[in-house]
């Protein structure tokens, strides 16, 4: 086994640990199965177990003689006991006041997990997976993160998560996914049946996926799934490492505006990825099948089944951008990295206040909390992460967005074959795993500005 493979393998438990935390945090509280204290206790127990099994979690990437040995953990039982823990709801009024004062900063670690050992106060490293499957919800994404890290196979993770999503959802005739993903009894049963051991092979995962699809007879979206899997087959797994110290040095340059101090590493990394990606789109243009660039901060709509979206906000990383968008591709490509990062930060704060206002009004009026969790439970992700959601103020699945242009706050999935997530490696860097068409993976590697701050691992 090569040194690179050993390093990646040694980092799996760090990643899995964060995936557990993300899974729990992203599930909204729908019942009172456990108190807040009990939930935290279960999370801590899982974290302690993983820390005990792998010294990487204590903050070192030092290679050991047995680094190539596979660590065995009972993921199945842990997943059963940990991933189904509900999270107590946050008091909206208190959090809303904080938002009004300073803007909602999703980079801050949720208070629930702030004291947990071996997890940094800043949640910038928490993995959230971007999958190109219509109808995904964040809980299933966290399951896919977990599967990906265990299997080191992105396509297998897509298939497993897709199966879980489909088995936990009802589909209307139009193929739209109704939000039933909060049914923890269904999730728990599926995880018990399909939680995979470390030794599982991608072929086993495919069989699991086939079984789930066979039982999900109400779904009419299998054709879409197969089309996406076919697209993914053309893609390439890629991992690169962002050096946090190099990014941080940007903030210490002389004669910088005071607003720079408010930027997080997440903002800077996101700006770096945004600009690199924009340059790829501008350079490749129509020769890059399935993608267009329409002048927004980034528009990666794959023309799958002719799907396009209008009157939506774009969920870019951990940032929501309501239209109209002031940035053009020329700005993103040509301006200094700090300027792009500031734009990201400003948009995020403005949008988050709007989201929180909608969230507070819905909860205080007693309206069903179907979509409001976007304001409190979406975890940050250092990449292009998109999820399809309805307008936050409405539970009407047939709502015509054309009639609600002024108020619509919607997160759009571009349905592109782009999947990525990031983990803090505990040694001064972010490891970012991404699935890209091979031509784009090479473009990242060839971009001099990008490689100044990042190292391609594989």
CA–CA separation, 407 vs 81, rounded Å? 40
State the pLDDT at residue 237.
Answer: 54
State the pLDDT at residue 433.
Answer: 53
User: What pLDDT digit, counting tens, does each position of 360-405 carry?
Assistant: 454 455 543 322 232 222 222 222 222 222 222 222 223 333 433 2
Position 147 pLDDT exceeds 60: no
382: helix, strand or coil: coil
Q: Please, which residues bridge with residue 236 across strands?
A: 436
Out of 173-177, 236-240, 421-425, give the one with best mean pLDDT: 236-240
User: What pLDDT digit, counting tens, does each position of 288-313 carry?
Assistant: 444 434 333 333 332 222 333 332 33
CA–CA separation, 453 vs 455, rounded Å? 7
Long-range contacts, 89-92 (Cβ 8 Å, 24+): 89/28, 89/29, 90/376, 92/359, 92/360, 92/363, 92/364
Residues of the chain with CATH 3.30.559: 238-456
CA–CA separation, 284 vs 63, rounded Å? 40
Sole residue written with tokens 């909608």: 358
When mean pLDDT is compared across 293-297, 306-310, 407-411, 419-423, the lowest value belongs to 407-411
Position 166 pLDDT exceeds 50: no
Which residue has better confidence, 418 or 186? 186
Residue pair 277/288 in contact (Cβ under 8 Å)? The answer is no
Mean pLDDT over 226-242 rounds to 50
Position 445 pLDDT exceeds 60: yes
Sole residue written with tokens 């009990």: 38
Position 106 pLDDT exceeds 50: no
Residue pair 282/258 in contact (Cβ under 8 Å)? The answer is no
The CATH architecture assigned to 238-456 reads 2-Layer Sandwich (3.30)
User: What pLDDT digit, counting tens, does each position of 253-280 carry?
Assistant: 666 666 666 676 666 766 776 676 666 6
Position 339 pLDDT exceeds 50: yes
Residue pair 105/355 in contact (Cβ under 8 Å)? The answer is no
| Per-residue confidence band for 153, with pLDDT thresholds at 50, 70 and 90 | very low
Write the CB contacts of 287 (distance below 8 Å, at least 6 apart in sequence): none
H or E segment at 452? helix 448-453
Out of 106-115, 210-219, 225-234, 339-348, give the one with best mean pLDDT: 339-348
Q: CA of 181: how far to CAs of 26, 166, 337, 381, 413, in Å? A: 11, 9, 38, 21, 18
pTM: 0.40
């Amino acid at each position: 086994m090569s040194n690179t493979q050993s390093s990646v393998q040694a980092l799996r438990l760090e990643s899995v640990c964060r995936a557990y935390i993300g899974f729990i945090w992203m599930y909204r509280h729908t019942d009172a199965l456990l108190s807040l204290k009990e939930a935290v206790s279960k999370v801590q127990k899982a974290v302690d177990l993983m820390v005990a099994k792998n010294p990487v979690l204590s903050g070192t990437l030092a290679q050991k003689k047995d680094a190539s040995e596979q660590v065995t953990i009972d993921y199945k039982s842990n997943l059963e006991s940990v991933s189904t823990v509900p999270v107590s709801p946050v008091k909206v009024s208190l959090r809303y006041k904080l938002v009004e004062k300073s803007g909602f900063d999703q980079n801050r670690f949720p208070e629930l997990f702030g004291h947990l050992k071996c997890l940094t106060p800043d949640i910038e490293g928490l993995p959230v997976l971007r999958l190109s499957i219509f109808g995904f919800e964040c809980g299933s994404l966290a399951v896919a993160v977990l599967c990906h890290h265990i299997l080191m196979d992105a396509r297998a993770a897509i298939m497993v998560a897709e199966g879980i999503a489909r088995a936990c959802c009802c589909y209307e005739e139009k193929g739209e996914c109704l939000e039933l993903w909060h049914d923890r009894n269904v999730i728990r049963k599926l995880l018990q049946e399909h939680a995979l051991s470390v030794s599982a092979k991608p072929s086993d995962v495919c069989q699991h996926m086939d079984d789930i699809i066979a039982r999900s007879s109400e779904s009419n979206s299998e054709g879409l799934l197969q089309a996406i899997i076919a697209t993914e087959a053309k893609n390439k797994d890629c991992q690169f490492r962002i050096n946090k110290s190099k990014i941080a040095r940007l903030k210490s340059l002389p004669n910088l505006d005071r607003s720079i101090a408010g930027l997080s590493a997440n903002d800077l990394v996101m700006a770096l990825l945004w600009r690199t990606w924009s340059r790829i789109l501008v350079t490749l243009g129509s020769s890059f099948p399935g993608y267009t660039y329409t002048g927004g901060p980034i528009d990666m709509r794959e023309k799958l089944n002719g799907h396009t979206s209008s009157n939506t906000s774009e969920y870019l990383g951990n940032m929501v951008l309501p239209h109209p968008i002031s940035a053009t591709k020329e700005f993103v490509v040509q301006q200094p990295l700090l300027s792009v990062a500031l734009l990201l930060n400003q948009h995020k704060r403005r949008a988050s206040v709007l989201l929180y206002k909608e969230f507070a009004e819905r909860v205080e009026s007693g309206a069903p909390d179907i979509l409001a969790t976007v304001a409190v439970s979406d975890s940050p992700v250092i990449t292009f992460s998109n999820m399809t959601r309805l307008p936050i103020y409405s539970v009407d699945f047939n709502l015509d967005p054309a009639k609600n242009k002024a108020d619509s706050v919607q997160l759009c999935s571009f349905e592109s074959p782009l999947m990525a997530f990031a983990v803090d490696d505990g040694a001064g860097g972010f490891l970012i795993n991404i699935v890209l068409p091979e031509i784009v993976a090479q473009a990242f590697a060839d971009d001099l500005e990008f490689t100044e701050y990042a190292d391609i691992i594989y």
